[in-house]
Structures are given as structure tokens and as C-alpha cells.
Structure 1
Amino acid sequence: MTASLFTPYKLNDTLTLSNKILMAPLTRCMADDDLVPTQQIADYYARRAEAGLIISEATIIRADGQGYPNTPGLFTPAQIDGWRVVTDAVHKNGGKIFAQLWHTGRVAHPHFFGGGDVLSSSAQAVEGTVPRMRELVYQTPKAATIEDIKQLVIDYAQAAANAIDAGFDGVEIHGANGYLIDQFLHHDNNRREDEYGQTPENMSRFALEVVDAVIARIGADRTALRVSPGAYFNMAGDSRDRAVFDYLLPEVAKRNLAFLHGGIFDDSMEFDYLGGSISAYLRSVYTGTLVGVGSYTAETGSAAIEANKFDLLAIGRPFIANPDYVAKVRDGEELVAYADTMLTELI
């Protein structure tokens, strides 16, 4: 039932995956106080190196991108050195690993970076408090200026170069799940009236500028993108959003990225303005390699690949509970059930 998962997959002339099972990015909040990955984190990823590709936990591109405690960065020499220990450990065990590049935008909090502005596409606050630090209430962000946006594009590209210096095989730009890039792509948060707002072309501009800048630094073959066409996390949906992604995704396809990755917790969710699930919508408008994710099992994910719903399967929480997930699926062994208590330790 899962045989289709265990054949190699050629992303491009640079990268071939040993199987079609990806480890999805999983925020663990276990970097040290300087946002440097620890030896424990290196051991954690090394134990999961049998995945065709590991996508790292979301990793912030600069200090003001932080919205959760102890999330790793890729903007200081110490952070780059820390990640090099991780990538060396994964490669020693025969694996491949991409860094997921992250700026949380309006979900950031000044507590983490010593004060200053929280940046977003518009001055629209998200309601609520910071996970794991409920005493911190979200702030109303500053609408990024044109100069702010130009600097953000530069910083994404620099973080991508830092990732390659740290030994990563490539990067996935986090453009999903209500974070900074996604905040430009949805009408709920993008209220701009300049060249970054109002029309699909304008609302897609920042995402494409980041993609192009990263490609220019490290190559399209080592660049991937994650998107959430259906707003579902820290964002309200709007039927006008579809036109934005109808424009964006064919433009992304022209860039010949390594892959496009859907951002969704459960792909059985349907969005009326997308005509169904996120993966089905992405397949209908995107022509390149597509990664499916969202509460799939190995069996249901394999069936979806065989049905041409997507090309690669990203597995999340089961990888937390089962470092040997790939071997267990291949050998037909029973999986350990995931429990939220596992989030507080690295196994």
C-alpha cells in the first residue's frame, strides 16, 4: 500500500531524493537563548535522516522576525555554526536537509528582540497572545515601508546564502500559515494602496521578489516555497484571495523551483473560494513538483501520490513520535502514537 513512497524522486539535476517521504517543518522552540541549535537538536535531526528530505523547523532570518521563544535563527555566525553541526550530522547519516526561512511578521513580538517595530504588510493586529508566553499580547504592527521591504528581500537572500554556508542542501521560503509573506497575499491583512497592495500582481510582488532574490543567491534548484492559498491560521479568508494565488502560482512555476509545498494542518479542509482542498487547488494551477501535507498517513499519502494529487508527501507529528518513521512504514511496523507531551522533549 505504500510502495510508491519508496522510489527515488528527482527534483532536478542537482537533487535526487532517496524516497518520497519528507519530514515536515516542526517548530520545537528548543534552540538556546542565542537562538543557536544545540547538539541535542543535531541528534534529533540525525535520527530522522532516512527521510527523503528533512525540512527544518522554521528558522528566523533576522532578529525582528521572532514570534516564539527559542526558535533558531540563521543570521549570526554562531547560529550558522550551530546549524553546520546539524547538517553534518544529517549528511553523515545519508540524509538531505533544507532550511525553512521564516519571518513571522505581525506575529512577532518586541519582547524577543529588545523593542522596536513589528512589521507587516499593513497595520492590522492579530488578536491573542504569544504561544507558550501568554503574558505577551500581540502588538499592532507597522506597515512596512518600501525601504523596509527592500531590506527584507535582501535579508531573505542573505539567510539563504547563510543556509548554504551552514551546509543545508537548499531552502524552503516560508510563505504560508499567516506569517510575513502570507500577510501580503491575503486581503484580510493586506490593506496597502501602493505597488504591494490591492491587485493580485501587487499583492504577489513581495513574495516573488523574495523568491527571485533567493534564486539569485543560491539557484532555483535549491529553492522551494511554502504557501497557504486557503487562509486558516492567524488570518481570515476572503474570496478575493483566489485571484492573488491564481496569479502568483503560475509565476512561481516559471521559476523552476525545487518544489512547492502546501501549508495546511489538515488537507481534508475545504475552502469554497478554492473549490476544495489546498492540495487540489495547488495541483490545478501549479505545474511543478508539489508536496502534499496535512494529516495524511503513509497509506493515504501514498494513495494520493498514485492518484496524481501531489508528488511528495510531508509527514509532521508522526515524525516527532517516531524518529525511525521511514523504516517503520517500509517494514510495516506499528507506529508510536503522537501525544502533545512529546513537544517538550527531543527524542
Structure 2
Amino acid sequence: MSTYPISPALLSKPIIHPTLDTPLDLGSLTLKNRVVMASLTRNRGVVSNPVNATYYAQRASTGLIVSEGTLVTPQGTEWIDCPGLYDERTTAGWTNTVAEVHKAGGVIFAQLWHLGRVCHPHLQANVPNVGPSAVKAQGGKFRLLQGQPGYVTPVAIEKPQAYAMLYRHAAENARRAGFDGVELHAANGYLVNQFIDSKSNVRTDAYGGSPENRARFALEIIDHLIAVYGADRVGIKLSPSGGYNDMQGGEPDLPTYTYLVTQLAHRGIAYVQVTRYLDDFSAGGAKVDVLALGQLLKNSTTKFLVNGGFDAAEAELWVKQGKADAIVFGRPILATPDFKDRAIRGVQPNTDLKFNEFYVPKDNNPALGYTDYPFYQDGKVE
């Protein structure tokens, strides 16, 4: 079922990547294919709105949509117009968007997000930035606001359990809004990743030091999410190579990731999504063998999803060879609403990404650079 125009000319082309087009049992859900839409911050509204609904529903032909990072508290962002799931208004906004995705035949998880020490200090309602420890991230280039004063030294969180409850509350709101499940954002140098990484976490209590302790915060949140949704509707995103937002990653933190993934497998969550090393995204980090982490899931029901610079041909090979259960795509789906149908047929996605409109709508029109990317039209590539 789709309410958006998949070209008959496209559908008439032969399928050359058939494995990507096979169903996948994901917990209690059956995904219609192995193409997953990554979480992609677009800065189009604190409260999800009709243009957001159109954007996601256009892309509902993918097996699974993971929403853009969605805040568990308004004091947790570096973005002016990033959506949340922390109160009645933000929850109600998502309800229509989720309904439109379902109407178009899609499955959508909410990605739950807190940025921790890399929040913009001017967007914290006069409360301090927080992190696992009072360790400042190096850098400070914020996307839309002035970079100064850059990243600041955070206040160490005294009671991580209270922050874990923010994620539970957001999951409860996600369920009320109709999301099919939730994904914990534990990657890319944000709050949960900051607890995992030994560079940003120098605590000496039960949340720091050993791999078991540095994984504790993530697992406590996962247990809250399971309590709300059930294990088979919960996923997590990890980036063990580090780099982004001044994360160390690599070999020093691999024991923590190994322990964490093993515990996630025991819990039987729906999936673990791992981002592999990318030169432009993981600079400053170190390459990690993501397949070794995937092997930790082999004897569990938890599926292994991999993200990071795939094209359709490589994605087909990874799934066909059993390296991953599904592949997560970002920018190609951002720019190509019918990406799945092009990918399985080896048809080029749109190439005009409109970088200048990723986060700042042209002429203050949120649809531009968002819902105006073209569907396939008789071989024309934009």
C-alpha cells in the first residue's frame, strides 16, 4: 500500500537486488524489505506538523523508518526546531505523522535523544549542560546558532537514574502517539554514548570505570523502554568507532561495546544498529570491526542493522552474505522518496542533495529541500 506515486516505468524494471526486497521478521513485526531509513535531523519543527507527515509518508516504502532524533527533554538540544516527545503538545504533534506513515503502509520507530554535553548552552533555559563527567568536548561548531561560546564544561549528572526516566517518559509518549517502537540513540557523541566512552566518562562510581559500569546507563534506559514497549519493539544505535563529537571509540572502548551488545542480545531487543567507520564522520576515532559485534547476536532473536555509506549493490551483498539483517541508509533516502524501489532495481537515486536546505528551509518554506525531492520520472535523475 502506498499513497505516493511509484512510477509504473520504475516498477516495470527488473529487480537486480532481490535480497534487499525480502521481508524481515523484526520482533513481533514483519518488515516488508531490508531497506531502513536512518534518523535524519531536519530541523522542521519542535512539534511534528503536516509537512513532517508528508515527508515521512513519502518514504514509507522502506521496511522501517527511524524518526529523526527526538528529544526526551527540551533542555537537551543544539537545534532550534528539533522535535520532542516530552509533553502533551509534542506527543500530539507526532500522532498525525505516525498515522500518515501507517496509512502509507510504513513502520516507524521513534529515536529517543538527549545531546548531553554537546547541547548548545544558549538553549538550556538557564540550566547547565550535563554529561557523565565534567569533561568538555573539544570543538564547538554548532550548525545553526553562533558557535561561540562553543562546547562548555558540563555538570556531572548526580543521579543518572533520573535521566533514564526521561527516556521512559518519552517512550510512553511515543506509544501514545502510535509509534511502532523506539530506538535509543546511544551513538555519535550524545548523552548515552558519553557514558559508554572512556574519554568522556571518568566517573568512579557505579556508572564509570569498568565496561559493566559504563554500559549501565544505556542498559537501565533499555530496561525502561522494554517495560513500556516490550523487548521486541526496542532498538538501539551505536557508533563504536567514535570520532564524531569528540568521542574516542576504537579499541579502548571495545570491551564496553562487547559487554553491552551481549547484554542486549540476552534481553532479546528487536535490533542493534551499528554505524561503521566513515572517513568524514568518524575522523578522530578508530576503525572497529562491526561484524564482530554482529556475531554476538547470532544466537539471539536480535537483528543486526548496519549503517554507513552503503550503496544498493554493497547493501545487497552484505544482506545476501548474512553479514547484516538489513542496511540503514541516510542521505540517499533523504533526497529520494522512492529510494527503496530504485535501490532494488539498481536505479540511481537523486543526486541533488540541496545541502543548503538540509536544516534551513529556503524562503522560510519548510517543504523546500524536504518534501519536494522528486520521485522517479522516466529515467530522469535530479
Q: Does 1:44 align with 2:42?
A: no
| SS of 1:111 mapped into structure 2 | helix
Equivalent residue letter for 1:322: T
Match of 1:336 in 2: 350
Equivalents in 2 of 1:212, 1:320: separation in Å?
31
| SS of 2:273 mapped into structure 1 | strand
Q: Which runs of 5+ in 1 are unaligned?
A: none
CA RMSD in angstroms comes to 2.1
* Conservation of the 8 A alpha-carbon contact between 2:240 and 2:288: no
Q: TM-score, normalised by structure 2?
A: 0.84
* Conservation of the 8 A alpha-carbon contact between 2:243 and 2:281: no
Q: Deviations over 1:231-272 (max 9, x none)?
A: 12111346321111121110111110110001346399999x
Q: 2:196 aligns with which of 172, 185, 188?
A: 185
Equivalent residue letter for 1:130: F
Equivalents in 2 of 1:329, 1:238: separation in Å?
31
Match of 1:212 in 2: 223
Aligned pair in 2 of structure 1 residues 313, 267: CA closer, same or farther (>3 Å)? farther
Q: Which runs of 5+ in 2 are unaligned?
A: 1-15, 362-368, 372-382
- Of stretches 187-196 and 134-143 in structure 1, the one that deviates more from structure 2 is 134-143
* Conservation of the 8 A alpha-carbon contact between 1:9 and 1:19: yes
Equivalents in 1 of 2:278, 2:242: separation in Å?
13
* Conservation of the 8 A alpha-carbon contact between 1:320 and 1:338: no
Match of 2:209 in 1: 198
Q: 1:140 aligns with which of 153, 170, 174?
A: 153
| SS of 1:254 mapped into structure 2 | helix
Equivalents in 2 of 1:38, 1:264: separation in Å?
32
Equivalents in 2 of 1:322, 1:129: separation in Å?
28
Q: What is the aligned residue count? A: 340
Q: Does 1:6 align with 2:40?
A: no
Match of 2:327 in 1: 313
Equivalents in 2 of 1:155, 1:247: separation in Å?
24
Equivalent residue letter for 2:69: A
Match of 1:297 in 2: 311
* Conservation of the 8 A alpha-carbon contact between 1:268 and 1:277: no
Match of 2:40 in 1: 26
Equivalents in 1 of 2:319, 2:352: separation in Å?
24
Aligned pair in 2 of structure 1 residues 208, 338: CA closer, same or farther (>3 Å)? farther
Equivalents in 2 of 1:68, 1:319: separation in Å?
22
> CA offset at residue 213 of structure 1?
1.0
Equivalents in 1 of 2:337, 2:97: separation in Å?
15
Equivalents in 2 of 1:27, 1:246: separation in Å?
28
**Greater Rg over alpha carbons, structure:** 2
| SS of 2:340 mapped into structure 1 | helix
> CA offset at residue 161 of structure 1?
1.0
Match of 1:346 in 2: 370
Q: TM-score, normalised by structure 1?
A: 0.93
Equivalents in 2 of 1:225, 1:173: separation in Å?
5
- Of stretches 197-206 and 323-332 in structure 1, the one that deviates more from structure 2 is 323-332
Q: 2:99 aligns with which of 66, 88, 91?
A: 88
Q: Deviations over 1:187-245 (max 9, x none)?
A: 11001011111111111111110001111111111110111122121113463211111
| SS of 2:348 mapped into structure 1 | coil
5 Å-filtered alignment, 1:58-69, equals 58-69=69-80
Equivalent residue letter for 1:346: Y
Aligned pair in 2 of structure 1 residues 50, 319: CA closer, same or farther (>3 Å)? same
Q: 1:261 aligns with which of 273, 282, 287?
A: 273
Aligned pair in 2 of structure 1 residues 90, 302: CA closer, same or farther (>3 Å)? same
Q: 1:166 aligns with which of 174, 177, 187?
A: 177
Q: Which has the higher contact order (CA 8 A, sep 6+)?
A: 2
* Conservation of the 8 A alpha-carbon contact between 1:265 and 1:293: no
5 Å-filtered alignment, 1:100-111, equals 100-111=111-122
- The sequence identity of aligned pairs, in percent, is 36
| SS of 1:310 mapped into structure 2 | coil
Aligned pair in 2 of structure 1 residues 158, 188: CA closer, same or farther (>3 Å)? same
| SS of 2:192 mapped into structure 1 | helix
Match of 1:243 in 2: 255
* Conservation of the 8 A alpha-carbon contact between 1:23 and 1:314: yes
| SS of 2:344 mapped into structure 1 | helix
Equivalent residue letter for 1:228: S
* Conservation of the 8 A alpha-carbon contact between 2:95 and 2:177: yes
> CA offset at residue 292 of structure 1?
1.0
* Conservation of the 8 A alpha-carbon contact between 1:321 and 1:342: no
Equivalents in 1 of 2:188, 2:67: separation in Å?
16
Equivalent residue letter for 2:22: T
Match of 2:29 in 1: 15
* Conservation of the 8 A alpha-carbon contact between 2:313 and 2:346: no
| SS of 1:64 mapped into structure 2 | coil
